[in-house]
Amino acid sequence: MAASQLLLLSLLCTLFVHQCHAACAEVDSDTEAVAGKGFKLGCVSCKLRSEVESTCVIEWFFRPKGEVDFVHIYTYSSGVASIENEEFIDRVDWNGSRMSNDIQDGSIYVLNITFNDTGTYRCYFNRVLIYPNHEYINIVSKLVHLNVVAKATRGTASIVSEVMMYVTIIGLQVWLLIEMIYCYRKISAAGEEALREAA
Ligand SMILES: *[C@@H]1O[C@H](CO)[C@@H](O)[C@H](O)[C@H]1NC(C)=O
Ligand SMILES: *[C@@H]1O[C@H](CO)[C@@H](O)[C@H](O)[C@H]1NC(C)=O
Ligand SMILES: *[C@@H]1O[C@H](CO)[C@@H](O)[C@H](O)[C@H]1NC(C)=O
């Protein structure tokens, strides 16, 4: 009985985990990089027709702050990456989907960020959906506005939540202390009363 329940439970778990992995979420990229560090330029485009086979080529373009035109910096096609701009030579690693022609995550990782990397990045998903009788081309593009800072700044939200955490912890401890004093007084009063009655 117990064994079969365990088996069922682990089966359900496996199914659940599987579903989680299969799910694709179009999370927005971070937009603040720290100079001298690496930065992941995120770009996710979920494929809506998961049952249809497809291939996908990813391209990244960059428009430095104050410039008008985008320059081509990176291409990823059939597992092969090529860096198209000398400013980015040896500085870009693939951070997207692996082992698949059917890319949903086209993120790249830029090493040694400099202030010159400030600007707008655009990624393109050039997806070809392969149907039995025809092919359908679907192009999706996304923008990332990157700001480079000397030191990481913390979002106000995270500071507020940390302060709230301390307030809560201290509040709970004070409450516990008051409760203990109250209980102690009550117990000792009851004890004295009992002694008086016994006398
Ligand atoms: C992205 O690439 C960088 C550099 O190769 C690596 O250190 C990092 O672990 C990668 N991250 C992911 C999520 O693949
Ligand atoms: C990136 O920075 C590291 C440490 O400062 C350095 O060793 C490396 O050569 C740099 N790489 C590039 C491509 O500039
Ligand atoms: C940033 O760009 C300026 C002007 O193009 C160039 O002189 C400088 O060397 C660049 N700095 C870095 C760290 O690449």
Are 96 and 194 members of one domain?
no
Tokens 């682990």 belong to 10
Are 100 and 170 members of one domain?
no
Mean pLDDT of 144-164: 86
Q: What pLDDT shows up at residue 19?
A: 46
Q: Which of 62, 67, 71, 116 to mutate to test the pocket of ligand 3 (most atoms within 8 A of CB)?
A: 116
What residue ranges line ligand 3, CB within 6 angstroms?
Answer: 114, 116
Are 80 and 126 members of one domain?
yes
Residue with CA at minimum distance from ligand 2 atom 2: 112
Burial class (CB in 10 A: 0-12, 13-18, 19+), 109: middle
Instruction: Give alpha helix (H) positions in the chain.
Output: 2-22, 156-198
Whole-angstrom Cα distance, residue 113 to residue 130? 38
| Partners of residue 81 on adjacent β-strands | 76
Are 143 and 161 members of one domain?
no
Range of the domain at 30: 24-149
Pick the more confident residue, 10 or 106.
106
Q: What pLDDT shows up at residue 5?
A: 56
pTM above 0.75, yes or no: no
Residue 154 main-chain phi, psi, to 5 deg: -95, 140
Mean residue pLDDT across the chain: 87
CATH number of the domain bearing residue 47 = 2.60.40.10
Are 84 and 180 members of one domain?
no
Mean pLDDT of 55-84: 95
Helix (H, G, I), strand (E, B) or coil at 26: coil
Are 53 and 116 members of one domain?
yes
Residue with CA at minimum distance from ligand 1 atom 7: 109
Mean pLDDT of 34-47: 94
81 ligand 1 Cβ < 6 A: no
Question: Quick check: 26 pLDDT over 50?
Answer: yes
Token digits of residue 8: 């069922």
